[in-house]
Amino acid sequence: MKIGIVCPYAYDVPGGVQFHVRDQAEELRRRGHEVSVFAPVETEYSEDGFINAGKTFAIPYNGSIARLAFGPRVAARTRQWVTTSDFDILHVHEPATPSVSLIALQHARCPVVGTFHAAIEKSLLYTLGKPVVQSVKEKLSAQIAVSEEARRTLQRYQGGDAIVIPNGVDYQAFAQASPTPKWQQSEESPVFCFLGRLDEPRKGLSILVAAIPMVLEKYPAARFLIAGPGTASRARATLASFGKNVEFLGTLSEAEKIALFSSATAYIAPQTGGESFGIVLVEAMAANCLVVASSIPAFTAVLEEGRLGKIFTSEDAVSLAEKLLEVCENREAAARLAKRGHQGAKRYDWSAVTDQVLAVYERCREHQLEN
């Protein structure tokens, strides 16, 4: 098939939707499909099959900052790409977001699949955009949600329903990774890692910071590796007294992230909300790293209510510390739970996820032929 995929966010800025689009396109090409990715960018960016939609604007969105593209020039470029490419399927991600996905949907001339990623309790942006989306929503031949939380958000703001197909991971890339010696756990020193935007409150770094002293009081050899963009000046000042027990790693490359998970005893996910899935949990699980996550719905779903990892009470540093102490006290039990999570992550491999997406594409094409 000839497939067009639209990403509404700056493609060269790290993010869950961007990674999803990139990996989905790669797997589809591997299977012999012709794929064109259309997205805005912040810098000079190029790769095979990528079309630049234009520059972006920073918009506060869902407790973070989204970089979206809109305006007459972007609209004209999007319209030309959609109407001249002769796609068999157009796949727009976050079609309710006021960016190139919504514009592409307006001009589509072939079956369109929309994937919804966001999990939002309240959104002025979604509320204001609802009339525009409703006016073109009939062009969607099928709707996908990456999780039950994303599905509920779709139902709340746009109506209708969606099939749930999760985010994907390159399972083998994580499963076969080698640990980095300087980060690696030992019998004496369990290693806990955090990965997220350090200055974004909903990522929960402050909860981890409050839990660390409680863990080190009983297990002074434990180490904490904190990675991600941002200054986190308050967190650094608070943790400075713990010396080598706490290390800030900064922004990691994809290879470094994989190595970090492979090296650590457990990955800590203390997010307080605004997460629709939790792909980073699956990545850690695929690397055979135990996940200790907050009890927000998206995370408990991925961890199957605690069957595939440890769950602590959201926004409760004492509860987090207790779970980390359980890991320190019984490393063998923690390793067994990590192995269970490792096996559970196989269902999210891109090979399995893409099979489900292609089945949706085929149903859309069959429906078009019937009509």
Contact 38, 81 (CB under 8 A): yes
Q: Are residues 135 and 13 in the same domain?
A: yes
Would you state the pLDDT for residue 121? 67
Question: DSSP secondary-structure letter at 242?
Answer: G
Q: Are residues 91 and 193 in the same domain?
A: no
Contact 69, 53 (CB under 8 A): yes
Would you state the pLDDT for residue 12? 86
Structural domains in the chain (count): 2
Dump pLDDT digits (tens) for 185-230. Answer: 999 999 999 999 999 999 999 999 999 999 999 999 999 999 999 9
Q: Are residues 61 and 44 in the same domain?
A: yes
Dump pLDDT digits (tens) for 127-147. Answer: 666 666 666 778 899 999 999
State the DSSP string of 183-231.
G---SS--EEEEES-TT-GGG-HHHHHHHHHHHHHH-TT-EEEEESSS-
Q: Residue 109's domain spans which residues?
A: 2-168+349-370
Would you state the pLDDT for residue 280? 95
Q: Are residues 16 and 162 in the same domain?
A: yes
CATH number at residue 14: 3.40.50.2000
Would you state the pLDDT for residue 43? 82
Residue bearing the bigger pLDDT, 276 or 31: 31
Q: Are residues 222 and 155 in the same domain?
A: no
Q: Are residues 105 and 192 in the same domain?
A: no
> How confident is the model over 174-178, as a mean pLDDT?
96
pTM of the model: 0.88
Q: Are residues 15 and 152 in the same domain?
A: yes
Whether 88 has a pLDDT exceeding 80, the answer reads yes
Evaluated on CA atoms 112, 159, 354, 174, the torsion sign reads positive
Whether 93 has a pLDDT exceeding 80, the answer reads yes
> How confident is the model over 31-46, as a mean pLDDT?
91
Q: Are residues 139 and 185 in the same domain?
A: no
Would you state the pLDDT for residue 62? 58
Residue type for 362, please? E
Q: What is the mean pLDDT of the chain?
A: 92
